[in-house]
């Protein structure tokens, strides 16, 4: 029996951080950093950082839904970034770091809306969630040097100061979901 692979697209700050986190989950087959949610065709990293493209740094997650669900991915997504601050994650500031879910179908849209409503109703965060939910129009894969960035550069200062602590917290909370 062949398994159907599904795709989720999330933006929650730096795509290096998000790639490192989601790559460790059981059922996740591949995580690809890229750009989406804007208006420029085939943007570069420099263009996205200029805040002139409308794109966010995002990750494309290819996953096996028989092992991990879209809701499980949403749980990790909302746990590992601040969805209440527009255009900012820690010291990373700009619209490219906004909290964003780009849905591929109506079911993903509904699940994301329900998930956010539940978080807001339960007051899981001090402030209301500002995560955008919009349809995916196009995903542009980031340049090669962004792929597997943490894996290839884990000793770099940004990786040590920003990504490594996130991974420790994530691995503690989601230890049963790790590969």
Average pLDDT on 37-47 reads 96
Tens digit of each residue's pLDDT (9 = 90 or more) over 59-69: 999 999 999 99
At residue 1, the pLDDT reads: 53
Residue 70 has pLDDT above 80, yes or no: yes
At residue 90, the pLDDT reads: 87
Task: Judge whether 141 lies within some domain.
Answer: yes
* Nearest by Cα to 165 from 143, 173, 125: 173
At residue 43, the pLDDT reads: 97
DSSP tag of 178: B
Task: Judge whether 121 lies within some domain.
Answer: yes
Question: What residues form DSSP beta bridges with 16?
Answer: none
Tens digit of each residue's pLDDT (9 = 90 or more) over 88-141: 998 899 999 999 999 999 999 999 999 999 999 999 999 999 999 999 999 999
How many C-beta atoms lie closer than 10 Å to residue 168's C-beta?
Answer: 10
Q: Known catalytic residues?
A: 14
Task: Judge whether 28 lies within some domain.
Answer: yes
Task: Judge whether 112 lies within some domain.
Answer: yes
Average pLDDT on 29-57 reads 96
At residue 42, the pLDDT reads: 96
Task: Judge whether 1 lies within some domain.
Answer: no
| C-alpha pair distances (Å), 43 with each of 36, 95, 135 | 9, 14, 18
Average pLDDT over the chain, rounded to whole? 95
| C-alpha pair distances (Å), 145 with each of 4, 47, 75, 108, 169 | 29, 16, 28, 30, 26
CATH number, domain containing residue 113: 3.30.1060.10
Q: What range defines the domain where residue 116 resides? A: 6-177
Question: What residues form DSSP beta bridges with 158?
Answer: none
At residue 12, the pLDDT reads: 96
As for how many domains the chain has, the answer is 1
Write the DSSP string, 73-96: HHHHHHHSS-TTSTTEETTEESGG
At residue 91, the pLDDT reads: 87
Structure-token pair, residue 84: 């209440």
In this prediction the pTM is 0.95
Average pLDDT on 75-84 reads 96
* 22 contacts 61 by C-beta, under 8 angstroms: yes
Structure-token pair, residue 141: 């894969």
**Secondary structure in 3-state letters for 106-132:** HHHHHHHHHHHHHHHHCCCCCCCCCCE
At residue 177, the pLDDT reads: 94
């Amino acid at each position: 029996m062949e398994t159907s692979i599904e795709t989720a697209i999330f933006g929650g700050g730096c795509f290096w951080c998000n790639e490192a986190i989601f790559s460790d989950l059981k059922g996740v087959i591949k995580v690809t950093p890229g750009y989406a949610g804007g208006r420029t065709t085939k943007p570069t990293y420099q263009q996205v950082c200029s805040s002139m493209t409308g794109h966010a740094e995002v990750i494309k997650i290819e996953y096996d839904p028989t092992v991990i669900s879209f809701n499980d991915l949403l749980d990790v997504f909302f746990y590992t970034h601040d969805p209440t601050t527009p255009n900012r994650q820690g010291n990373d500031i700009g619209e490219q770091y906004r909290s964003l879910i780009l849905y591929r179908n109506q079911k993903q849209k509904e699940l994301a809306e329900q998930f956010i409503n539940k978080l807001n109703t339960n007051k899981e965060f001090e402030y209301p969630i500002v995560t955008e939910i919009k349809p995916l129009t196009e995903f542009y894969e980031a340049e090669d040097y962004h792929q597997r960035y943490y894996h290839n550069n884990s000793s770099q200062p940004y990786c040590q100061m920003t990504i490594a602590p996130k991974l420790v917290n994530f691995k503690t909370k989601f230890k049963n979901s790790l590969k």
